[in-house]
Amino acid sequence: MAGEQIQLNQGQNTNLPPGITLDVIIQCGAAPSSLDVSCFMVDENGKVPSDDYFIFYNQNVDPHQSVRLTQADEHSSRFTLDLNRLQQAPISKCVFTATLEGVGTFAQVANCQAVLQIGGQQITYTLSEMTSETALILIEVYKYKEAFKVRAIGRGFFGGLQPLAESFGVEIEADDSANGSQAAAASTASQQAASGSANATSSVAGSSTSPASTAAAQSSPAPSLSESAPKLTVPLTKIDLLKNKVTSSLEKKQVAPIKARVAVVFDASGSMYSLYKKGIVQEAFERVLAIAAAFDDDGELDVWFFAKEFLRAKSVRADNYENYIERAYKLGSKGGTNNEPPVMEDVIRKYTKEAPNVHIPTYIIFFSDGGVSSKSKIAKLIIDSSRYNLFWQFVGLGNANYGVLRELDELKGRFVDNANFFELDDISKVSDEELYDRLLNEFPSWIEEAKRKSILA
């Protein structure tokens, strides 16, 4: 509807309305240094087909003229997307990023936003809860069937433009001697973008540069991707960035790297519908997938959904995570009320009967929004499984009836304390660092106890 305004939360996605032209504005109210905004046009593997698909102030349009940087200044950049041409381009999505050219972190950036304008509609995502990160992935516009959708990412990480670009397969030429030219390069950004001079990039077409190496690039052509240093075998993805936060959480606890199988169980009852629709379940899934990527040799995550019935879904790895929830589980097909015991029995069956492995632990993250009623059955399953190498981490989504889950610390009859529970008012507002700290609070100590009692061989 014309004039409609939509506010996105972190992890949420929405359909873009029909239209030919989409404007994407990345802006902030104040920042400790200039905001350097870029667009990475990536394929299904999360990599740019070539460096021509890295859009920034020194290369303001892609070969198909589907994405153009039309304006850039110290605190704001505007990209115009021709959606008809973009639909024909050999890319899967456009990822919009920002780095700080000079001093400071995104904790010091005020009112950082991504604003999308199309067909009289405005979609806004406002960044929140950043700390000392110096680089940021704000949003992604991606192809969906015959149209487009946008997802709010809001993921920060450290290191500035170089690791950010390399995560999408773009090699950045390091040139410490050019550091002094950053301010000059930044001051020309709006002039180059506003002029629309694609010719300004002719001397670096097929090359990879950064703001820090602009002066060097002007004096001598930067090497092409094929001529520069070898690329990463597997480029960093969103899951890789989250995986680093999992590792950091363990390091803070002085816990050695963990080798484990990882599973996640999602409540899919009717009361969870809005969390699925808003993309919050997908976001939670991605954060758990990063744990599997950190713990499991092959990075595989086993997934279950449950309501009145349950569904054992196809296992997934980090190279196939996008839109997984939508692909793996069709809302309404298994909906209804909560019925935890059958899905818990299936999880136990998989890891003790179908694919037992006494040499490594199995970490099961179980999401529920309440309505837990089968107290005696759930208690018996937890007690019975305490002699196996299974650890249950229950997570409550909101202040609801969690029954026996709130009594786990006092649950008698277990061979070892094999379960933990905590609840969150709104998982979408909990930082990655806090979530991983809480998810990994008791699992490491259970591993040590399981070894002492010979549960783990």
Helical packing angle, 375-384 and 340-349, nearest 10°: 10
What are the structure tokens assigned to 86, written together? Answer: 């973009």
CA-based nearest residue to 103, from 31, 176, 156 = 31
In angstroms, rounded to a whole number, what is the distance separating the alpha carbons of residues 306 and 172? 46
User: What 3-state class would DSSP assign to 321?
Assistant: coil
CA-based nearest residue to 456, from 403, 387, 409, 393 = 387
Q: What is the pLDDT of residue 322?
A: 87
Q: What is the pLDDT of residue 23?
A: 97
In angstroms, rounded to a whole number, what is the distance separating the alpha carbons of residues 424 and 340? 19
In angstroms, rounded to a whole number, what is the distance separating the alpha carbons of residues 116 and 149? 11
Q: What is the pLDDT of residue 3?
A: 61
Q: What is the dihedral of CA 356, 298, 256, 448, to 10 degrees?
A: -10
In this structure, the strands spanning 5-8 and 121-126 are parallel
Q: What is the pLDDT of residue 129?
A: 66
Q: In what order do the strands lie in the sheet with 113-118?
A: 5-8, 121-126, 113-118, 21-27, 76-82, 67-72
CA-based nearest residue to 89, from 121, 128, 44 = 44
Q: What is the pLDDT of residue 408?
A: 85
For 327-331, the CB contacts below 8 A with 24+ separation are: 328/303, 329/266, 329/268, 329/305, 331/268, 331/273, 331/276, 331/277
Write the DSSP assignment of 242-265 as a string of letters. Answer: HHHHHHHHHHHTT------EEEEE
Q: What is the pLDDT of residue 277?
A: 83
pLDDT tens, position by position, for the chain (457 residues)? Answer: 456 789 998 878 899 988 899 999 999 988 888 888 999 999 988 889 998 999 998 889 999 999 999 998 889 999 999 999 999 999 999 999 998 877 788 888 888 999 999 988 999 999 876 667 788 899 999 998 889 999 998 887 666 777 778 878 887 655 443 333 333 333 333 333 333 333 333 322 333 333 333 333 333 333 333 333 333 333 457 888 888 889 889 998 889 889 999 999 999 988 888 888 888 899 999 999 999 999 987 789 999 999 888 999 999 998 888 889 988 886 554 456 788 999 999 999 999 999 999 899 999 999 988 777 788 999 999 999 999 999 999 999 876 778 788 888 788 999 999 999 998 878 888 889 999 999 999 999 999 999 999 999 7
Contacts of residue 137, Cβ cutoff 8 Å, sequence gap at least 6? 95, 96, 97, 153, 154, 155, 156, 164, 238
Q: What is the pLDDT of residue 194?
A: 37
In angstroms, rounded to a whole number, what is the distance separating the alpha carbons of residues 53 and 207? 11
Burial class (CB in 10 A: 0-12, 13-18, 19+), 229: exposed
Phi and psi for 331 in degrees, rounded to 5?
A: -55, 135
Contacts of residue 393, Cβ cutoff 8 Å, sequence gap at least 6? 363, 364, 365, 366, 419, 420, 421, 439, 442, 443
Q: What is the pLDDT of residue 320?
A: 85
Give the residue carrying structure tokens 């589907």: 66
Write the DSSP assignment of 66-118 as a string of letters. Answer: -EEEEEE-SSEEEEEEEHHHHHHSS-SEEEEEEEESSS--GGG-BS-EEEEEE
Distances (CA, A) of 13 to 46, 176, 419: 18, 39, 33
User: What 3-state class would DSSP assign to 42?
Assistant: strand
